[in-house]
Structure 1
């Protein structure tokens, strides 16, 4: 009767979820370079500040890979090197201008590319003089940087010239299976960058460079487990658990399901975790299922709860991509 009267309002479940989330996100201590755990709040704060200073304010280092790359990668011909080193010309400026879409949005000066293309014979002397002056670093008119042009300087070390530096902690190097192990070691030693066995994630999805297995999309299951770890099913009614599944649990794998064909084992595991939470179970034990899963995934007008089967959703999204 209490569940029917009170529903799932501001109850013990939500207070427990808030406490669990706060404890999981709180950094209570850090380990220093000597392996000691630091618990003092002010000292932990200073450790974070010092670490960030070391990362972003350290000296710029340039690796010389000349000796390592000989014979490993295709070499530029003398003619190609001369083309890279030659001076900028008016013909290059005209070629770049003609590659622009004529009627795209105008720049800050209010003129579209069609104006410069159609009036090239008239404006080319003054326009080329200004652009070549900027490229040769002779003159940079005020407001010239307000246009949508990105000028890349021709320099041996552009990162060094721009003040940017490579973060080795965030950098990884990936080698094809065709590269010999004897050639890999000297390269990663000189680069001082960690070698990885896969290409990692990009825009929330794994960059697949081999056979798709369960491990490829296991991160989706881990995200669901992480969310379920802060929930207490026994403190919610069946209606409350159904609402949480539809509003929070089901959207977690939605992005991956719309993008790629997931292994059947991943889809079945997601359904299994949904069923356990729905019937009041947890990761260790299952609750008593009142009806079959096929009935649960039916429309409400047919007596179901309108929950989604991950296999069916994945197939539907793949059909949408194909269409």
Structure 2
């Protein structure tokens, strides 16, 4: 039987039904009451953002962020199910079914990789900025395997392919490998405070999802599945000391392997992190790749900056973009001089001492009534005793300047021409005004007014 298919059913025995408590007229009226948009929205927004997405790959975070755009369509689709009593036919095309075998192999999971590739092809990714692709990788592509991850320890080759597809999509806008990415995927997946973008490593996430089964076996013996495990495998043995026999089912040995990865996290029957209670998020933070915090994270962190500007600022701060000194090494460029002024080596010059940069920031500084052209100006602004709003606006302006300088650098290299600093500054002011208008701070303190 397929989802949404109508099948004949036997009628219930009315005499048996009437022996138990039955619905009153008030209950009937409540059940037949039309579902409202507010109830649908409340139900969707009550789902935690870190929960696994449905078979279509969209997590609750995606629906919440896009509710102003897709909310009406979602509500209409759900209300149509209640009116007709049938699920949408399209749902059959999105349901993934995996029949467990003695051993889950890479070829058994081809459908997962193909589904991610098909989603990329349907997104029109070539027209998206880096920041737009990052949102899709974070909320859709890298979480599509979460529909499988809580149930299966997926083969490493499958998870590696998922990471490769997401990496290619982020940097190329397609699922195929095109060129060496500006930043390695491992670094992209570390926390933002440590210089990454906060994406998840698929293999670590898979371990933490299956880790919930390990936790259940240790602390929730009343679960039916855990009772079955104790009866068939453990047979009274201590779970944390148990060693599976060689003739055990392959999947059971995989679960035991996940336990071995997590064994240091268990202390006297409790999870040693997050107040003794196991959570997928907490375990991921414990197992993930960790690096030292970077000092520039707070300098480019700003809630109101345009996302694509923030992404460019991240690559600049991380020195990830291929400036001309690196292009010379690859044999792409004949010299390493600044594309704009042609006077100094581009590295450590373009965003610090380039004449174009100095003139642009001088014009913007006159507009703001302060000097932001000196090196380390972001640090200076961050340490001033300004309100959070003024600091955010100041940082937004500086990061937007970085973006415009980078765009003029590319324009010079590709088209051998640049716009004058005053023209660029005028465009920059329009962008800043538009951004601040759409952000609309809820409250402005007297300190901001002065």
Give the TM-score range, shorter chain. 0.3 to 0.5
After TM superposition, the score normalised by the length of structure 2 is 0.27
Name the structure, 1 or 2, with higher relative contact order (CA <8 Å, separation 6+): 1
User: Which structure would you say has the larger Rg?
Assistant: 1
After TM superposition, the score normalised by the length of structure 1 is 0.37
Greater helix proportion:
2
